[in-house]
Chains A and B, each alone.
Chain A
Amino acid sequence: MKHKNVFPVLFSLMLFVMPASTNYEMHDYGIGGGDTVGSSTNYGLNAMVGEVGGALSDGTNYSLGPGVIFTRQANVPAAPTFTNPSNFYNKLRIVLDTGNNPSDARFAVAISSDNFVTTQYVKSDFTVGSTLDITDYQTYSGWGGGAGVFVIGLQPNITYSVKVRAMHGNFTESGYSTAATASTAAVSVTFDIDVSAVDTETSPPYTLNIGTLTPATITTAGQKIWVDLETNAVDGAVVYVRGSGTGLTSIGAGHTIPGLTGDLGSASEGYGMQLNTVGQASGGPLTAITPYNGTLQNIGTLDTTFRPMLESTTAISGGRGSFFLKAKSATTTPAAADYSQLLTVIAAARF
């Protein structure tokens, strides 16, 4: 009887002493335990009586999640794959790691543009919101499986971080994975003008000499206007052209050879622009817009209104188009050496 009383006291003292060791400390511990499922017809029990407590022991290199709480938790997924696959400025692709969780496990994605000083969440429609609702937890296939999904509605030129956590039933939510980062691109339009008889790069000033106009004869300038266009804007870009006046104007003669839309061959005098070539490396396509896409002697007017001359309705790379300038004087057109016009060509992205 005497021995029976002494042993529990010594055992308790031993346990009590253990956490106070010089080298180790057992965090938040309990006595006894059990981790099997007891079941009957009506009830099941997954319990532990006494346990190493449910507080995460976090070290520099490792962390320990002891006890039944951590045992029941879903696996922490690895960092997701987060990329900008095609120079996008408003969306990024995320592919989750399952962390070997079951296929019906659900995942939530946190997102931040300031390295999680402030945290937002990817909603079930893949936009970003400030709240995390239960409907925002989706299965791996709901997050697009191996192909992933796009997180949409993002701001241009921002680095975003994402991290993922999993759950598989009530009270099983894991901690967050490590974060992955990706950046949206800036909205960009690369736009250049060249003036040359052949397809080559030239520098400003972009001057073009139409030559001497013979009455009642169509003159096509030897040099062409070349336009380069490249953009990542979702709806592409448009190039507009506008003249400084209503046509080729001579201050000295006080006369203007008017801008003309239509057949220059049947007009007595006129001036305008016509597509020569158009193409692109990828995306687009780049197309000339009526009336500048005429053939034979059909031209589009160059006057004081901004008129669209080229467009791409999607993002485009390596777009390049060239245009002729054509003019015709009448026998009544006063001769002068200063017929001129200033053309402004503007590129504008479409969102």
Chain B
Amino acid sequence: MTSSITVSPLFQELTLDDASASVVREVTITNNTQLPLEVQTQLGKLTSDSLEGPPVGVPAELVDQLPFVKVLPTKIQVAPNASASVQVTFTQSAELNPGGNYVAAVFSFSEQPSAPAQVIPAVSSVFFVTKKGSERYQLTLEKLDTPSVRVGYPKELSVSVQNTGNTHIIPSGKISFLRGDKQLARGIINQDSRYLFQGQALSFTTEVMKLERSWPIERLEVRVELNPYQEGVAKVESSHMVIIQPTALFLMVVGLIAVLFIGARRIRHEA
């Protein structure tokens, strides 16, 4: 499988502050066909299709330039098995939202229709633009599924996190099972380094790794530390969980059966 055209890079992050009049990024287009191609670049803002969701992968509308982005040249000839580059220039504009903005540059080639239907492949290169100075990195722990009593450490825990800031974040953090300051088990949140966009909530399944055994029956602090990864402030929230070691549970069950057995015998004896 070879793409007719390939685009590199497919994804770039950049920040725009008042001091930087403009930021220029380059995108390289490679023509993998045996024909010369005219590649056209169009731009579009990526927005979420819901109030709480990531921006969708394709713009609702494609235009030659946006108030804060322009691409040069908009059409470029690319020889067979050769590459060419276009420059995408971002400038400060009132059109930019505070915090995160998302733009797709869509690269396609076109020929005059010569049949009832013609199909044109296109590839988008995405830019995550953060308007510096107004960005807000903020995460909220929505939910941590921790039973209050459990036999052994859980294999995994589900942590629901919402991005309540105004720009994209790669949430990170850990769940620690603590006896005082001593960490007995822990899980790392967002091992896939997923982005969380503004308003978006995600549930991260977090694998718990045992570092040390707890006591047979022990009440441990379950501490969740969330970091917005960039310059935000870490959030710490705690709850408690009683861990019963399986051997302790077994002994308790045996003990209970023994007590019931002795009790039953005594009742029968007295009867």
In the assembled complex, how far is the CB of residue B24 from the closest CB belonging to chain A, in whole angstroms?
Answer: 19
Chain A residues in 8 Å Cβ range of B37:
204
Contact of B58 among A154, A201, A348 (CB under 8 A): A348
Chain A residues in 8 Å Cβ range of B190:
152
In the assembled complex, how far is the CB of residue A273 from the closest CB belonging to chain B, in whole angstroms?
Answer: 10
- The answer to whether A340 and B193 have CB atoms under 8 Å apart is no
**How long is the Cα–Cα vector from A288 to B7 in the complex, in angstroms?**
24
Cβ < 8 Å to A, chain B residues 1-22: 1-4, 6, 8-11
Q: How many residues of A contact B (CB 8 A)?
A: 63
Q: Does B152 contact A (CB under 8 A)?
A: no
- CB-based nearest A residue for B104: A348
In the assembled complex, how far is the CB of residue B27 from the closest CB belonging to chain A, in whole angstroms?
Answer: 13
Q: Does B50 contact A (CB under 8 A)?
A: no
Chain B residues in 8 Å Cβ range of A161:
none
- The answer to whether A206 and B119 have CB atoms under 8 Å apart is yes
Q: Does B172 contact A (CB under 8 A)?
A: yes
Of A72-80, A110-118, A232-240, A260-268, which stretch is located at the interface? A232-240
**How long is the Cα–Cα vector from A149 to B8 in the complex, in angstroms?**
29
Contact A124 to B174, CB < 8 A, known contacts A139-B211, A203-B33? yes
- CB-based nearest A residue for B8: A186
Contact of A347 among B114, B123, B186 (CB under 8 A): B123
- The answer to whether A190 and B172 have CB atoms under 8 Å apart is no
Q: Does B51 contact A (CB under 8 A)?
A: no
**How long is the Cα–Cα vector from A153 to B189 in the complex, in angstroms?**
11
**How long is the Cα–Cα vector from A295 to B189 in the complex, in angstroms?**
41
Contact of B11 among A142, A156, A342 (CB under 8 A): A156
Q: Does B109 contact A (CB under 8 A)?
A: yes
Binary flags per residue of A124-146, CB closer than 8 Å to B gives 1, else 0: 11110000000000010110100
**How long is the Cα–Cα vector from A150 to B106 in the complex, in angstroms?**
33
Cβ < 8 Å to B, chain A residues 316-336: 318, 320, 325
Chain A residues in 8 Å Cβ range of B174:
124-125
- CB-based nearest B residue for A230: B1
Contact A192 to B193, CB < 8 A, known contacts A153-B172, A225-B119? no
Contact A150 to B191, CB < 8 A, known contacts A208-B119, A345-B122? yes
- The answer to whether A234 and B192 have CB atoms under 8 Å apart is yes
Q: Does B157 contact A (CB under 8 A)?
A: no
Q: Does B135 contact A (CB under 8 A)?
A: no
- The answer to whether A125 and B118 have CB atoms under 8 Å apart is no
**How long is the Cα–Cα vector from A38 to B191 in the complex, in angstroms?**
49
Q: Does B199 contact A (CB under 8 A)?
A: no
Q: Does B229 contact A (CB under 8 A)?
A: yes
Contact of A348 among B33, B57, B111 (CB under 8 A): B57
Q: Does B271 contact A (CB under 8 A)?
A: no
In the A-B complex, the 6 residue pairs with the smallest Cβ-Cβ separation, listed nearest first, are: A348-B57, A207-B115, A90-B193, A206-B119, A193-B121, A346-B122
Can you list 30 residue pairs at the A/B interface with Cβ under 8 Å?
A: A125-B225, A126-B172, A127-B227, A139-B211, A142-B186, A152-B172, A157-B9, A190-B6, A204-B33, A204-B35, A205-B118, A206-B120, A207-B115, A207-B118, A208-B116, A210-B117, A248-B116, A343-B119, A344-B119, A344-B120, A344-B122, A345-B120, A346-B106, A346-B124, A347-B124, A348-B104, A349-B10, A349-B126, A351-B126, A351-B194
9 A-B pairs besides A234-B192, A248-B117, A346-B58 with CB distance below 8 A are A125-B173, A152-B193, A207-B113, A342-B110, A342-B117, A343-B119, A347-B123, A348-B126, A349-B57
